[in-house]
A and B are shown apart, each in its own frame.
Chain A
Amino acid sequence: MIVELGHFALILALMVAVVQATLPLWGAQTGDRRLMALAGPAAGLQLVLIAGSFAALTWAFVVSDFSLAVVVSNSHTLKPMLYKVSGVWGNHEGSLLLWVLILAIYGAAVAAFGTNLPERLKARVLAVQGLIGVAFMAFLLLTSNPFWRLAAPPLDGQDLNPLLQDPGLAFHPPFLYLGYVGLSMAFSFAVAALIEGRVDAAWGRWVRPWTLAAWVFLTIGIALGSWWAYYELGWGGFWFWDPVENASFMPWLLAAALLHSSIVVEKRESLKAWTILLAIMAFGFSLIGTFIVRSGVITSVHAFANDPERGVFILMILGFFTGGALILFAARAGVMEARGVFSLVSRESALVANNILLSVAAFVVFIGTIWPLVGTMLMGRDLSVGAPFFNAAFSPFMVALALILPPGAMLAWKRGDLRRSLRGLIPVMALVLALGVLAYAMQSGRTALGPVGLMLGAWVSFGAMADLWARTGRGGLAARAGRLLRLPRADWGKATAHFGLGVTIFAVAAMNSWKVEDIRVVQEGESFPLGAYAVRLDKVEEVQGPNYTSTMGWMTVTSNGAPVAVLTPEKRVYPVAGMPTTEAAIDYGFTRDIYLVLGDRQKSGGWAVRSYIEPFANWLWGGAILMALGGVLSLSDRRYRVAAGARRVPSGVPAE
């Protein structure tokens, strides 16, 4: 009964979305205020209905209602409660329902908090938002209905993929979706502005918080996924340039570009057409991401293989929204005249360079991801593109971005003085050089990548600090320190996010160049050296877990005879799903992780053991957290909370 209510609520939500997508749009066109006013309540009602529907599905998972096909194939009565709940979105159908729920949350948020938006713009934004809802709910109901009942329910389910039964991954999809779907807000604002034919500073100010929020969620989502891959997959890698990772990385890059270009729109009323285009592309790429992921993705590799219909449907959604918005853009882009002019050396130009580099980087990821497809379809050749290509073709753009970031961020608006902003960075340059020389002298002398990565990361991080310090103006140390604390949150956000980027750059280079790996057969009781440490395999035993059995090794790590940690790497077998997993044991540290993996028992006796020292691994996630924190700080800036932008909107009717 509850399941049917959920199903019914979803169908009703689709109907409401149809109303939200059409009548307010008509109202905005004809100036009918009653029709425009429909948008807000419709968005609210849609949220209530979809939330009800999601709750019904969650309930079915919690009580293990095996009359539902989705529950049977993704749950089991013995599964821990956390994973019963996360199982709701651990599959194609349920995750799409989450997608739609988040879409409705964003829509309702605009309706509730967008009180300072002009009536027409608000109606149009919500209508576009409603249209996206229509497309995805139709997709959900027609091709991937989570409320599908079975005529003959089995006694128990087939369990969730054991690799997905992990706290890191339980929250990875919701964050990613919050990011993907958040970009739909920028898209809706862009399309509404195109219909309206006007983009001004106020528009920039409205669209930036949504983009910023989406980017923060994407950052967290990607970092969670990468962290999970690092500790769960058992070889210490954190990024594989897999199509599905790329699918989330492209929107992240474009969202980063978008939130920088919307600063220019907001502060200088320039780059309008480009920002609109970027907003369309950012959401377009998250649809492409959804497509790549859904054609067999984020959840079940089998889903798409059995049902190509889904891929085609998403391709249609992608074509309709991206194509439609681009046509609209082509027709209306000329209307948006830039007001602020700027010289070639200025903050605007630096942000344009940022945008070009980020977009080109996203494009390189895109072409690398689809190249195998192009190869098979157009040339009949079997081609692969993997990490070596991406490392070589993508990294130069990021290096260039990191190089221009500190001086660019310190340039003045409109007309800057490059020499002056470089002069402010002289102490940073000295520090960076010293660090580079130090790292080169200290490492065992193999690669230049480590020291160069350190220099680049330090350049960005300390550059961000120098930028923040420069903002305190002139005067004595005490006066400047006092002013430092009173700087707007947005300045702190900028510095924090850029600092985090530098930390991440350093960590990526460090992990790629200073990693220590050891593979060997170890007898129980035997010790072996690992870098500056010694590792002893004490014993290996069978252990029973709640829904798995485990082969667990006890390994003692010592440094010069002093104990560092006792680690217990495992090999688990989940009998219901019939799948083994490896659970690496990690001793997390500030400058290094010790990472141990237990392999198979060897015929000759003893166990295969893989051990790594992962240098500065925690800095990678730390950098991502700092970037997200920077976004949150910027988001909490007072200027976004008070309706400052609203004042600047002319009171008359906007030109149609």
Chain B
Amino acid sequence: MTGVLKRRWAWGPPYILALFLAVGPAFAVQPDEMLADPALEARAREISRDIRCPVCQGETIDDSNAPIARDLRIIIRERLTAGDSDAEVVDYIVARYGEGVLFNPPAQGVNLVLWLAGPALLLAGIAVAVVANRRRVVPEAALTADEEARLQEILKQ
């Protein structure tokens, strides 16, 4: 278990990440990578915000200074210039680097559990709250037939 934890959770807070990443170029997207067409460049930025840098785990390629992140940013721009759609570009990268690069796990297969956990718990919470509330209110709300008869008796006296 700890071996796994070590690998996945040893990212540390953002400043620890930055600690590794700062060794190298001073910041992520470099002016020389950027496309001249602002619409295409905007699409490239949008895509790269959802792609994890494969070597730095906790950071998007848009934020990362790692050389591989730069390579990926350039690949994205090459594919876009070649006329690929956004989905095709993402598929291209996933095919080469695995689904682990997706920061936004697609809501299908087992990832549905991840996506639906919140709404499911919300519904469960509401159900429990309503049931618990009903149960609390009932004893006070109505009188049984016996109690009703007794009440009438008392009132008559």
Contact = CB atoms under 8 A, between A and B. Distances in A.
B107 to A, nearest CB: 9
Interface size of B as a range:
35 or more
B148 to A, nearest CB: 20
Interface residues of A, number: 82
Contact of A235 (B34, B63, B103): B63
B4 A376 contact: yes
Contact of A367 (B6, B12, B15, B117): B117
A386 B114 CA distance: 12
Given A242-B14, A359-B125, A582-B22, A364 B117 contact: yes
Given A359-B125, A388-B49, A581-B22, A301 B14 contact: no
A599 B103 contact: no
A386 B60 contact: yes
B6 A296 contact: yes
B83 interface: no
B2 A384 contact: no
Interface stretch (B74-82, B93-101, B149-157): B93-101
Contacts of B140: 341
Interface in A336-370: 338, 341-344, 349, 352-353, 356-357, 359-361, 363-364, 367-368
Contacts of A243: 9, 11, 58
Contact of A600 (B8, B25, B34): B25
B13 A244 contact: yes
A278 to B, nearest CB: 12
Nearest to B111: A383
In terms of DSSP, what is the predominant structure of the interface of chain B? helix
B27 A610 contact: yes
B5 interface: yes
A373 B8 contact: yes
A579 B15 CA distance: 13
Interface of B: 1-19, 22-23, 25-32, 34, 49-50, 52, 57-60, 63, 98-105, 110-111, 114-115, 117-118, 121-122, 125-126, 129-130, 133, 136-137, 140
Interface of A: 161, 163-164, 169, 225, 228-229, 232-235, 237, 240, 242-245, 270, 292-293, 295-298, 300-301, 304-305, 308, 311-312, 338, 341-344, 349, 352-353, 356-357, 359-361, 363-364, 367-368, 371-373, 376-377, 379, 381-389, 392-394, 397, 519-521, 571, 579-582, 597-600, 602, 608, 610
10 contacts: A164-B15, A240-B14, A300-B12, A304-B9, A352-B129, A377-B4, A387-B103, A582-B27, A602-B32, A608-B30
